[in-house]
A and B are shown apart, each in its own frame.
Chain A
Amino acid sequence: GAVVSQHPSRVICKSGTSVKIECRSLDFQATTMFWYRQFPKQSLMLMATSNEGSKATYEQGVEKDKFLINHASLTLSTLTVTSAHPEDSSFYICSARDQLPTSGRALNEQFFGPGTRLTVL
């Protein structure tokens, strides 16, 4: 099946620093990737849609200057949490949609990464 990786898996940083999280599609190309945030014991909240070669589309209430998204290639999207604060501590998950799905895989099927646990002290 399709594999999506995230790096790092865990990160602890001091308040005020910036943290970059990478999302990679390992065996397929993804023109579209999605970034989600999940607080403990809660569901996934869509933050933004990352589009290869163009600007990301942010959901209402998500600050684009706070959460910088770059999708420079068909297999990599990055999320940078700028000037992180303790309230940004969360589980960040990305997903990628296969641009050219193979037989048995739906065009709108998204494959999720393993997530990145961010803790801001």
Chain B
Amino acid sequence: TQLLEQSPQFLSIQEGENLTVYCNSSSVFSSLQWYRQEPGEGPVLLVTVVTGGEVKKLKRLTFQFGDARKDSSLHITAAQPGDTGLYLCAGARDNFNKFYFGSGTKLNVKP
């Protein structure tokens, strides 16, 4: 059983479209991270959110941590082919503790 469920599992869109990926759990997290992973490589950290309701922006990416710190979303505006990859959320239940990864969302942006 996955502690963090992501939706959708797969997403194939055209360049220029917007999309949102969701990361949900019944557990409360002290912090939550989003990663992007290319095939055959390790994940690369995009953002860390720690406060309920927090919103962070990274260029065309907007991350939100739910008020109750049980869920998060990643919104990409005007997706580009370079955004293609596996997006993973990861949550820690205690400060400075180990992170558990979500089920992953595979994004394909077609030119």
Contacts and interface: CB of A to CB of B under 8 A. Distances in A.
Interface of A: 4, 34, 36, 41-46, 49, 91, 93, 95, 97, 106-115, 117
A4 to B, nearest CB: 8
Interface string B25-68: 00000010000000011111100100000000000000000000
B54 to A, nearest CB: 14
A44 B101 contact: yes
Top 5 A-B residue pairs of the complex, sorted by shortest distance between their CB atoms: A112-B42, A43-B104, A44-B101, A108-B96, A43-B101
A43 B2 contact: yes
Interface residues of B, number: 23
Given A93-B42, A108-B31, 17 more contacts: A4-B42, A34-B98, A34-B99, A42-B104, A43-B101, A43-B102, A43-B103, A44-B43, A44-B88, A44-B90, A46-B98, A46-B101, A108-B96, A109-B45, A110-B99, A115-B41, A117-B40
Of A108, A110, A115, most buried by chain B (CB within 10 Å of CB) is A108
B75 interface: no
A112 B92 CA distance: 16
Do most interface residues of chain A lie in helix, strand or loop, or is the interface mixed? strand
17 contacts: A41-B106, A42-B104, A43-B88, A43-B101, A43-B102, A43-B103, A43-B104, A44-B101, A95-B42, A108-B31, A108-B92, A108-B95, A108-B97, A110-B99, A112-B42, A114-B42, A115-B40
Nearest to A115: B42
Contacts of A44: 43, 88, 90, 101
Contacts of B101: 36, 43-46
Contacts of B22: none
B40 to A, nearest CB: 7
B57 to A, nearest CB: 17
